Amino acid sequence: MFQLLPLFLDLAGRRVLLVGGGPVAAAKLRQLLAASADVRGVSPDVCEAIERSGVPFERRAFAPADLDGVWLVVAAATPDVNREVAAAAEARCVFVNAVDDPANATAFLTGVVRRAGVTLAISTSGAAPALTALLREGIDAVLPRDLSAWVAEAGRQRAAWRRDGVPMADRRPLLLEALNALYDRSPRAVGSEDPALHKQDVAAGLQAGPVVTQGITPANAIGHVSLVGAGPGDPGLLTRRAVARLRAADLVLYDALIDRRILKLARHAQRFFVGKRAGRHAMTQQTINAVMIRAARRGRRVVRLKGGDPFVFGRGGEEMLALRDAGVSVDVVPGVTSAIAAPALAGIPVTHRDHSSAFLVVGGHDEEAFADAVHEVVPNGVTIVVLMGVGRRAALAGRLIDRGWAPATPAAIVFDASKPTQEVWNGTLEDLGTGQVEIENNRPGTIVIGEVVALGTRAGRGQEKRAHHVSR
pLDDT number for residue 150 = 85
For residues 162 and 234, state if they share a domain: no
| Domain contains 183 | yes
Name the E strands within 258-325: 270-273, 276-277, 280-281, 301-306
CATH code, domain carrying 419: 3.30.950.10
Grade residue 306 by pLDDT with cuts at 50, 70 and 90: very high
Grade residue 90 by pLDDT with cuts at 50, 70 and 90: very high
For residues 32 and 63, state if they share a domain: yes
Bridge partners of 260? none
Q: Which residue has the higher pLDDT, 332 or 136?
A: 332
In eight-state DSSP terms, residue 170 is G
Q: What's the whole-number average pLDDT of the chain?
A: 82
Spatial neighbors of 182 by CB under 8 A, at least 6 apart, are 146, 149, 150, 153, 202
User: How do residues 210-247 score in pLDDT, each as one tens digit?
Assistant: 333 333 333 444 689 999 999 999 999 999 999 999 99
| Domain contains 392 | yes
Mean pLDDT of 179-204: 45
| Percent of the chain with pLDDT strictly greater than 70 | 84
Mean pLDDT of 170-179: 81
For residues 464 and 352, state if they share a domain: yes
Mean pLDDT of 49-72: 92
| Domain contains 289 | yes
Catalytic residue among 146, 255, 259, 431: 255
3-state secondary structure of 278: coil
pLDDT number for residue 5 = 80
Exposed/middle/buried for residue 329 (C-beta within 10 Å: 0-12, 13-18, 19+): middle
Grade residue 335 by pLDDT with cuts at 50, 70 and 90: very high
Question: Per mean pLDDT, which range of 49-58, 114-123, 345-354, 375-384 is the poorest?
Answer: 114-123
Q: Which residue has the higher pLDDT, 444 or 87?
A: 87
pLDDT number for residue 212 = 31
| Helices H / strands E in the chain, number of each | 16, 20
pLDDT number for residue 206 = 36
Question: Per mean pLDDT, which range of 109-123, 254-268, 336-350 is the poorest?
Answer: 109-123
pLDDT number for residue 343 = 95
The total of other beta-carbon atoms located within 10 Å of residue 251's CB is 25
Q: Which residue has the higher pLDDT, 192 or 313?
A: 313
3-state secondary structure of 258: coil
The alpha helices in 165-194, defined as continuous H runs, are: 171-185
Mean pLDDT of 180-195: 45
The Cα 362–Cα 77 span in angstroms is: 56
Looking at 301, 317, 336, the residue that finishes a domain is 336
pLDDT greater than 60 at residue 421: yes
The Cα 234–Cα 342 span in angstroms is: 11
CATH code, domain carrying 22: 3.40.50.720
Cα→Cα distances 51→21, 78, 170, 225, 336, Å: 9, 20, 53, 48, 54
pLDDT number for residue 440 = 67
The Cα 263–Cα 221 span in angstroms is: 25
Exposed/middle/buried for residue 472 (C-beta within 10 Å: 0-12, 13-18, 19+): exposed
Mean pLDDT of 60-68: 94
Q: Which residue has the higher pLDDT, 91 or 204?
A: 91
Looking at 290, 320, 336, the residue that finishes a domain is 336
pLDDT number for residue 447 = 95
Name the E strands within 289-422: 301-306, 330-333, 359-363, 383-387, 410-415
Pair 208, 290: CB distance under 8 Å: yes
Looking at 296, 315, 336, the residue that finishes a domain is 336
pLDDT number for residue 147 = 81
For the question of residue 372 being annotated catalytic, the response is no
pLDDT number for residue 210 = 32
Catalytic residue among 38, 276, 366, 419: 276
pLDDT number for residue 358 = 93
Bridge partners of 17? 40, 73
Cα→Cα distances 417→150, 194, 396, Å: 48, 47, 21
Closest CA to 17 of 34, 35, 29: 29
pLDDT number for residue 222 = 64
For residues 36 and 66, state if they share a domain: yes
pLDDT number for residue 452 = 93
Q: Determine the structural domain holding residue 70 and report its residue range.
A: 15-109
For residues 82 and 200, state if they share a domain: no
For residues 198 and 252, state if they share a domain: no
Please list, residue by residue across 341-380, b when 16 or more beta carbons sit within 10 angstroms of its beta carbon and e when fewer do. Answer: bbbbbbbbbbeeeebbeebbbbebeeeeebbebbeebeeb
Bridge partners of 445? 415
In eight-state DSSP terms, residue 375 is T
pLDDT number for residue 200 = 43
The amino acid that residue 17 corresponds to is L
pLDDT number for residue 432 = 87
| Sheet of 57-58, strand order | 57-58, 38-42, 15-19, 72-75, 95-98
For the question of residue 276 being annotated catalytic, the response is yes
Q: Which residue has the higher pLDDT, 214 or 322?
A: 322
16's enclosing H/E stretch is strand 15-19
pLDDT greater than 90 at residue 441: no
The amino acid that residue 310 corresponds to is P
Cα→Cα distances 6→29, 102, 137, 199, 394, Å: 21, 16, 19, 32, 48
For residues 298 and 386, state if they share a domain: no
Question: Per mean pLDDT, which range of 173-182, 326-335, 408-417 is the poorest?
Answer: 173-182
| Percent of the chain with pLDDT strictly greater than 90 | 46
Mean pLDDT of 333-358: 93
